[in-house]
Structure 1
Amino acid sequence: MIIQFSAGKLILSPFELQARLDNGCQLYAMVDDIKFHDDALMIVADAGAVRWNIKLDSNEQLQDVKQELGIC
């Protein structure tokens, strides 16, 4: 599944999330390393020494990501 948002797009698979940003950055995270901050509309990837976060545009986008990854 691909979700477009203002900074680029998210590419979701059952095991991995890829964020391809319009500025050329590509971020990857395994599903087990992802957390969500619903109130802030943020996806947070934390794999120990590597951390990143992305703010989405809407709650609908965040819910779509959670549903696709099987996290409800």
Structure 2
Amino acid sequence: MIIQFSAGKLILSPYEVQARLDNGCQLYAMVDDIKFHDDALMLVADAGAVRWNIKLDSSEQLQEIKHELGIS
């Protein structure tokens, strides 16, 4: 599944999240390393030594990502 947001797009699979940003950066994380901060509309990848986060545009996007990844 692909979700467009203001900074680029997120590509979701059952095992991985890819963030392809408009500035050319590509970020990858395993689904097990993904967390959400609902109040801040943040998707956070935390794999110990590597951490990144993306601010989403709406709570609907956040819910759609959670649903697609099977995260409640």
Aligned residue pairs: how many? 72
Q: Which residue identity does 2:22 align to in structure 1?
A: D
Correspondence for 1:13: 13
Q: Which residue identity does 1:60 align to in structure 2?
A: E
Which TM-score applies when normalising by structure 2? 0.99
Correspondence for 1:35: 35
3-state DSSP of counterpart to 1:23: coil
Q: Deviations over 1:22-49 (max 9, x none)?
A: 0000000000000000000000000010
Write out aligned runs for 1:42-57 (5 A): 42-57=42-57
Kindly report structure 1 stretches of 4+ aligned residues shifted beyond 3 Å: none
Please list every run of 5 or more consecutive structure 2 residues that lacks an aligned counterpart in the other structure: none
3-state DSSP of counterpart to 2:48: coil
What value does the CA root-mean-square deviation take over the aligned residues? 0.3
> Percentage identity across aligned positions?
89
Partners of 1:47 and 1:32 in 2: CA distance: 9
Correspondence for 1:66: 66
Which TM-score applies when normalising by structure 1? 0.99
Q: Which residue identity does 1:18 align to in structure 2?
A: Q
